[in-house]
Amino acid sequence: MSRQEMSGRNTSGQNAARTTLCAAIEGFTFHGGSGPALRGVEIEITPGSLTAVLGGSGSGKSTLGRLLAAWLAGGRDGVLRGTLQLAAGGRQGEGCPLVFSGTGDDPRIDSAAWADHVGYVPQDAAAMLSAVRGTVEEELAFGLENRGTARSEMTRIVAETARRTGLTALLERDPATLSGGELRRLAIGCAIVTGPGVLILDEPLASLDPAGERTVMELVRDVRGRGAAVVVLSQHADGLTRQATHWLVLEDGAGTAAGSPDRLLAGSSLASSGVVVGGPPGLPAAGASSRPVAAAAPAAASGPAPAPGLPPALQLEGVSFGFDANDPGSPLLLKSINLEVRPGEIVAVTGPNGAGKSTLLRLFNGLLRPLRGNVRVTGKGIAGVPTGVVAERLGLLFQHPHDQLFERTVQREVIFGLERLFGQHASAKAAAALAEVGLDASGGVHPHELSGSGQRLLALATVLAREPAVLALDEPTVALDAHGLDRLTAAITAAAGRGAAVVLVTHDLAFARAHAHRTVELKDGALVGC
Ligand SMILES: Nc1ncnc2c1ncn2[C@@H]1O[C@H](COP(=O)(O)OP(=O)(O)OP(=O)(O)O)[C@@H](O)[C@H]1O
Ligand SMILES: Nc1ncnc2c1ncn2[C@@H]1O[C@H](COP(=O)(O)OP(=O)(O)OP(=O)(O)O)[C@@H](O)[C@H]1O
């Protein structure tokens, strides 16, 4: 058997090496953690299977995914009681040679060798990318280069992976400039490019438009067809996880239920888990999302639309923008956009991946400046006004929470800058914002120790605490479980109730329908339905 077969690599694009990954975790506690993040979790991942690990926020999904992918290790990152076993490279009909078997804080896991067999896409797709700044093509080639793949072979595999993930037109781009959906496609491409025997995907449909969801679902089907096992970690019983051969439900770090999706959906084990249940099984029709439609709290929770006639809190007049300002021949991303949002109004902006939604929000506070046209916040033009000054009236929630979290504790993160705005009331304002998002007991925690949903809710609290006249929220529903969605809904409703204008960018059409007064679509550079 060649080293390539032994290592589980599938650089020829044919069948993946048969790989089995088993974990029996009695407990895993992060160093400095207050209690075990995982306890009593057993999982067996076999060739060709699709396992869905479902659970609400903070239930331990990402921790399990990172342990299975050797991004976390017992001894180094925390205390692990239990065993991990990886076997890979057996030919059809044979057992797999054992690559690793270890117990507890065994230090022998070589994470680079592990990555030969186990591909992993974290919830935060940006964390996947190499630190080296280059192009999308170089990023895709990175894993192959590390394994010494011949150049001609590498070129062929990168081109094929780009085609499979819909990245062909973006190969020359700097990954740092990709939209959220484009970045997730790239992260998945980087994980599959070496043909691992096990592929672990943490919330793989987050931030994707319906076409992107279909691409991922087809990829999952394709890699399973080549003999690889897939594990999906998710808060959603959606079109992808309902196709799983096996579900494992986590609650508060413990495996509380396991079995077929049908059996678990019929029972009551999901009721308290925070898992968002809904959506039909199977691939969604063209244009339709596979995400659950039952995700949102009751419709019309956002209250009546504000009375007409109020002067707009946010106004865009003929705003055009393109990234290639120096090239007059290059097409504009945003073409003469007009938009008015009144105090108390909630407007949802939807549209395909890469349409320019995040770019539009960055024009609201001056992080980007229009090539033509004007932006007014509370009636005043922002041309030439520093972003920090506009931020007193307009709060922007970034698509990626890590772009917004810099402090050492949750409390400091929220209170930062509030003294200047509210003087002696700053502490009370910070406490109220943390309570609003359910993080009042986590003030002393480091932001990076929060789960994905905790980080998103913290970033939201930092924006809410400033009580801006305009709230601009970029994909606020991503990473939130059913309880988190309820908190988000309540926070948006309260902000609109006190007169804030709210603009939220989202791919969650059910959420937009239930909670926005108006939905507009950004497509081909124009806003439709204003
Ligand atoms: N580095 C860390 N140090 C200490 N505690 C951590 C660390 N990372 C995560 N935790 C804690 O472990 C628990 C499980 O977190 P994890 O991120 O695995 O949950 P999750 O189910 O993936 O949640 P979400 O769906 O919100 O991302 C949480 O209580 C979290 O705060
Ligand atoms: N600095 C840049 N240079 C060139 N192109 C860029 C740059 N930044 C973003 N883009 C491109 O502009 C387009 C719009 O990006 P944007 O992030 O606004 O899209 P989006 O609608 O928010 O997408 P998503 O739903 O995927 O988050 C994308 O195709 C993106 O790759």
The residues spanned by each domain of the chain are 45-73+108-277, 314-528
Rounded Cα distance between 383 and 18, Å, is 59
- The CA dihedral of 280, 286, 289, 293, to the nearest 10 degrees, is -50
Average pLDDT of the residues of the chain: 87
State in words which class domain 314-528 has: alpha beta
How many whole angstroms from 401 Cα to the centroid of ligand 1?
15
Ligand 1 atom, smallest distance to 448 CA: 1
Grouping H, G, I as helix, E, B as strand and the rest as coil, residue 103 is: strand
Q: Supply the residue whose CA is at minimum distance from atom 18 of ligand 2.
A: 356
Q: Which ligand number lies closest to the CA of residue 398?
A: 2
Within 304-393, where are the H helices?
357-364, 387-390
The pocket around ligand 2, CB under 6 angstroms, is made up of 177-182, 207, 323, 333, 351, 353-359
Three-state SS letters, 244-267: CCEEEEEECCEEEEEECHHHHHHC
Residue 470 near residue 314, CB atoms below 8 Å:
yes
ipTM value for the complex: 0.95
Across 212-351, where does the E strand assignment appear? 229-234, 236-237, 246-251, 254-259, 276-277, 314-321, 334-341, 346-350
> Does the beta carbon of 484 sit less than 6 angstroms from any atom of ligand 1?
no
A 10 A CB-CB count for 293 gives 17
Q: Which of 57, 61, 63, 410 to mutate to test the pocket of ligand 1 (most atoms within 8 A of CB)?
A: 63
> Does the beta carbon of 33 sit less than 6 angstroms from any atom of ligand 1?
yes
Local structure of residue 511 (DSSP, 8 states): H
**Global pTM exceeds 0.95:** no
> Does the beta carbon of 60 sit less than 6 angstroms from any atom of ligand 1?
yes
Ligand 2 atom, smallest distance to 180 CA: 27
pLDDT of residue 394: 97
Q: Which ligand number lies closest to the CA of residue 452?
A: 1
Does 45-73+108-277 match 314-528 in CATH topology? yes
Rounded Cα distance between 498 and 457, Å, is 20
The CATH number of the structural domain formed by 45-73+108-277 is 3.40.50.300
How many whole angstroms from 443 Cα to the centroid of ligand 1?
16
Rounded Cα distance between 292 and 281, Å, is 10
Q: Which of 349, 358, 403, 477 to mutate to test the pocket of ligand 2 (most atoms within 8 A of CB)?
A: 358
pLDDT of residue 436: 94
Q: Which of 177, 215, 473 to mutate to test the pocket of ligand 2 (most atoms within 8 A of CB)?
A: 177
Q: Which ligand number lies closest to the CA of residue 441?
A: 1
pLDDT per residue over 327-343, tens digit each? 777 889 999 999 999 99
Residue 14 CB-half CA count within 13 A: 3
C-alpha distances out from residue 229 to 10, 234, 373, 471, 519, Å: 13, 16, 51, 42, 39
pLDDT of residue 424: 82
How many whole angstroms from 66 Cα to the centroid of ligand 2?
29
How many whole angstroms from 467 Cα to the centroid of ligand 1?
29
Rounded Cα distance between 497 and 264, Å, is 39
Q: Supply the residue whose CA is at minimum distance from atom 20 of ligand 1.
A: 58
Q: Residues, the chain, total?
A: 530
How many whole angstroms from 179 Cα to the centroid of ligand 2?
4
Low-confidence ranges of the chain (pLDDT < 50): 1-12, 280-287, 293-301
Q: Which ligand number lies closest to the CA of residue 66?
A: 1
Q: Which of 171, 172, 179, 399 to mutate to test the pocket of ligand 2 (most atoms within 8 A of CB)?
A: 179
Q: Which ligand number lies closest to the CA of residue 448?
A: 1
pLDDT of residue 290: 58
Q: Supply the residue whose CA is at minimum distance from atom 12 of ligand 1.
A: 37
Rounded Cα distance between 1 and 501, Å, is 64
Q: Which of 28, 62, 124 to mutate to test the pocket of ligand 1 (most atoms within 8 A of CB)?
A: 62
Q: Which ligand number lies closest to the CA of residue 276?
A: 1
Residue 419 buriedness (CB in 10 A; 0-12 / 13-18 / 19+): middle
Which tokens is 271 given?
A: 């009721």
pLDDT of residue 253: 95
How are beta strands 372-377 and 380-381 bridged, if at all? antiparallel
pLDDT of residue 8: 39
**Nearest C-alpha neighbor of 338 from the set 369, 374, 363:** 374
Rounded Cα distance between 259 and 319, Å, is 53
For residues 15-43, one letter each, b for 16 or more C-beta atoms within 10 angstroms of the residue's C-beta and e for the rest, the string is ebbbbbbbbebbbbbbeeeeebbbbebeb
